[in-house]
Structure 1
Amino acid sequence: MTYYDLSHSIRSGMPVFPGDPPVDITPTATVEDDGYHVAALHCGSHTGTHIDAPSHVFRDGSELDSIAVDEFVFDARLVDCTGKSPREPIEAAELPTEDGTADLLLCHTGWDEYWGTDRYFDHPYLTPGAAEHCREAGWSVGLDTLNPDPTPTENATGSEPTGFQAHHTLLGNGLFVIENLTGLERVPAANSTVTLAAFPLPIADADGAPVRAVAIDSDVPGDGDPF
């Protein structure tokens, strides 16, 4: 059994969605001065690798702490969405057909290569049709991008979907969105599915929360460090 950590480390100054709180980690006690080390963490609920709750986009949507913890373990299927240009859509025709073996689609765009740069915000995105395709198949979605919808930047075009259509389609139908994954190229693509665990921090009334996203492949011997 092999484990693949698919999470970005939370660091001061890391990328956040435009307008979200900046991330700041500041020591408040040190071993040298106090005999122990403590840091103050300031961040938004959608910091780094995180999962969205329905309440993220729906006034009466469920919060994460009301959802059973086993709902955050998925049978995940990897889909190759690499080779995209900035702000290029992922169409429904590029996604697999429903096969009954997965409940989450991992969209590997390779865009985590641009983490920490302005280019990261001009990521590929799901078209409304692609999001609807996932809804019909019963797939939650995980991506190595900031957003399943287009993120507003000065490079946005008039032909792009507006608002949060993919969020509404997925979160409004009992499905999840996991954003800012990394290292999806290490997940074995030959297998039909792998287990993905993405447990959110137990924040009360959370509309989203950081996760430690880990893919677990029971068919690969654990003879090396996958992290």
Structure 2
Amino acid sequence: MSKLIDLTMELHEGMPTYPSPWHPTVDIHQIGRIDMEHRRSYSVTLGSHTGTHMDSPAHMVKDGITIDQIPPETTVGAAKVLDFSHKGRGDKITLSDIQGVGVKLERGDRLIIKTGWYKEWGSNAYYDRWPWVTAEAAQYIVDAGVIFVAMDLPSPDDPLGDTGYGKASPIHDIFLTRGVILVEYLTNTLSITAPEVKIIALPLKVRGVDGFPSRVLVEQ
């Protein structure tokens, strides 16, 4: 019997966000109260890359499609699981790792990269030298025709790389310039035990933005 696994981080006031000026903190403010307005309602302020979220090509590509233009068929369907749960702080996911994991990549594939790094969420370690994908490995994935990559990492890029304000993010660029849709900040990936699952990854349909928090479920 199949079961659903929720890979989505909970959004809440004070949650960690990437330590940069273009990643605002989360503000959740109640504006409607049962005892006063006879209804609950909230104002929610967050960045487009808060928690579990999807990157569209527009995140890095000047004329790339935006989050509302991503076909749902790209982000819903069968996904192959690449298990790198043996990788730890600062480890590279290399071309030989991708080739040696025993999963044949084919055109139209969706991938889930599983490392277990989400276990560091809420600590200073989470943003300190996460496992990352080398350029050769990323290029191999896009050359195989993969259309979607979801990962339990804050970024596929080298955390020690020079990717700050005004700088390129080379691994993002490899994926997004080829139209590959990315999901980052998955949680609970170690609950995935099957080599292939059905993934459902859907952001809100917000016009013209580069990314947005997404609910991500898998069925195995």
Band the TM-score falls in, shorter-chain normalisation: 0.7 to 0.9
Sort the Cα spacing of 1:157 and 1:196 in 2 relative to 1 into closer, same or farther, 3 A. closer
Is 1:76–1:102's contact at 8 Å kept on the other side of the alignment?
Answer: no
> 1:74·1:103 contact (CA, 8 Å) conserved in 2?
no
Alignment of 1:69-80 (within 5 A): 69-80=72-83
Q: Identify the match of residue 173 of structure 1 among 172, 178, 192.
A: 178
Partner Cα distance (1:174, 1:59) in 2: 12
What is the TM-score of this pair, normalised by structure 2? 0.87
TM-score, normalised with respect to structure 1? 0.85
Give 1:22 deviation, angstroms. 0.7
State the Cα distance separating 1:102 from its structure 2 match: 6.7
Which amino acid is 1:13 matched to? G
Taking structure 1 as reference, are residues 101 and 196 closer, same or farther at Cα in structure 2, changes over 3 Å only?
farther
Q: Percent identity?
A: 30
Q: Partners of 1:64 and 1:164 in 2: how far apart? A: 19
Q: What corresponds to 1:222 in structure 2?
A: none
Aligned to 2:126, what secondary structure does the other structure show? helix
How many equivalent residue pairs? 208
CA distance in 2, matches of 1:142, 1:194: 12
- Alignment partner, residue 64 of structure 1: 67
8 Å contact 2:88–2:117 — kept in the other structure?
no
In angstroms, what is the RMSD of aligned CA positions? 1.9
Offset at 1:85? Answer: 3.1
2:109 to 63, 87, 103: 103
Task: Give the 5 Å matches for 1:112-191.
Answer: 112-122=118-128, 123-139=130-146, 140-151=148-159, 156=160, 163-189=168-194, 191=195
- 1:198 — aligned with what? 201
Find the residue that maps to 2:207 and give its secondary structure: coil
**Map of 1:4 onto structure 2:** 5
> How far 1:187 sits from its partner (Å)?
1.4
